[in-house]
């Protein structure tokens, strides 16, 4: 891997505000050729997702409508970390809000860059054991989520068959299965 750092010459103020992101334009110098370029970076809060397993060995899933593909996507529940919020608390909150489930035992599975091509945020993955339905969904105005429980082996099969469309479900699922396979 190259260690040549790209020099940030200056940044334009974040003037484009979107629903959950802001756009920042940076002016960088390419160390390979010395050329200056203008790039866009989406800035925003980190996110979380949760692989929640019930005592019956089922994975709690959120079938979430996604505007980018204009279709429902079967995913691990998750969402954005609020300003000043601890990411584990955000994971617990998002699981409850999106599915109505909570769990007593939580394991941190690490984080991954949300999309390092043009985003500055990270996704923190969690495994929750002993998930049970303890409440009702509390969805945002722009959410339409159907909760499903998948047997763990069906989840594993779908994951390795490439049936999930959301990359964070892929990474969270792989990390969660890895942790489960090691016996927690």
Catalytic positions: 141
Longest Cα pair distance anywhere in the chain, in angstroms?
58
The C-alpha atoms of residue 2 and residue 4 are separated, in whole angstroms, by: 6
Which has the closest alpha carbon to 126: 172, 158, 66, 61? 172
Which has the closest alpha carbon to 62: 95, 92, 22? 95
Q: In the chain, where does DSSP find H-type helix?
A: 87-99, 152-160, 167-181
């Amino acid at each position: 891997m190259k260690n040549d750092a790209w020099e940030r010459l200056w940044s334009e103020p974040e003037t484009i505000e979107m629903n959950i992101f802001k756009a920042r334009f940076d002016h960088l110098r390419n160390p390979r050729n010395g050329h200056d370029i203008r790039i866009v970076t989406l800035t925003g809060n980190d996110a979380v997702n949760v692989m929640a397993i019930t005592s019956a060995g089922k994975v709690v899933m959120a079938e979430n409508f996604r505007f980018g593909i204009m279709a429902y996507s079967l995913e691990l529940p998750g969402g954005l970390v609020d300003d000043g919020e601890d990411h584990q608390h955000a994971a617990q909150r998002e699981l409850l809000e999106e599915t109505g489930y909570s769990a007593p035992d939580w394991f941190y599975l690490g984080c991954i860059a949300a999309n390092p091509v043009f985003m500055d945020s990270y996704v923190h993955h969690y495994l929750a054991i002993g998930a049970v339905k303890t409440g009702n969904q509390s969805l945002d105005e722009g959410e339409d989520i159907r909760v499903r429980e998948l047997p763990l082996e069906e989840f594993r099969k779908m994951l390795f068959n490439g049936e999930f469309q959301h990359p964070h479900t892929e990474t969270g699922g792989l990390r969660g299965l890895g942790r489960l396979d090691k016996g927690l």
